[in-house]
Structure 1
Amino acid sequence: MIVKHWDELTPVEVYVLARLRTEVFLREQGCTEEELDWRDLEATTEHYLLPAEEDAAPGETAGHPALAAYLRVLTDPDAEGDGLVIGRVVTDPAHRGKGLASRLLAAVIERHGDEPLLLHAQVYAAGLYAKAGFAPVGEEFDEAGIPHITMVRPA
């Protein structure tokens, strides 16, 4: 697991995280909103990267570097509790069903568990976040053409 701020990421890490997010959010899910929103570059944004080789069987990875899963954590003064917002949670289709998103969430909670955390969950994935201690707040809403619900994990 790699945790870095934007200015610490290598060009290859930037490329593979942008590629994964583009492949899943734009191509697979058909999101209607801009994927690269400039929030990645903010000094306080944390990028959690799980390289594919950390999820592969010995000898399984070859060729170009890739990510198995990724998420980012934003500092957002408009968030409930003046806290942190988890977003862009994504797992490469070839690595799904292995608990990688849960590993990323656990790393965020280990680092920031004493702070309130907020996220906008795709409705179908709300159970994943509930297992990590997040509870739904409010009604479902449309974000980028996909049903979402706000979820909060208290400090």
Structure 2
Amino acid sequence: MKISIENVSPDKEEEIIIRCYEVNDEILELMNKLKTKNSILIGYNDDSIYQLNPSNVYYFESVDNKVFIYCRDKFYECKQKLYELEQICDHKRFFRASKSIIINITKISHVKPSISGRFEATMVNGEKVLVSRQYVPVLKSKLGL
């Protein structure tokens, strides 16, 4: 694989071009890393606006047509939709746990089976988040079970 860097003037937009004969998993992973490396989330709390790093996010939740970002000990409202956050965030680190929740797998302390085939994920900050039965196989796969 050849890597080239071309300097541009400050008034031009920086751009990354990937030339390949086939879009394979390696190329998709590279694209995803490039997209998420610089992604900063914007959260709103108490009339203040915060820049949040996705790696500090425990989970996202949609409640009553509002999306919230949950971190270790604070939560923020987010203007983006859940599906947009799912596209922004690293698919190796985040996964859909239900129609209304996306979890950061690196922030899970432990999981245990719950009622009706669901799983209960306990986050490292002690919060408990339910994983819907239809998403349990995804969780198991991500955990290597």
Q: Give the TM-score normalised by the residue count of structure 1.
A: 0.27
Larger Rg, first or second structure (1 or 2) = 2
Q: Give the TM-score normalised by the residue count of structure 2.
A: 0.29
Structure having greater relative contact order (Cα 8 Å, sep ≥ 6): 1
1 or 2, which has the higher helix percentage? 1
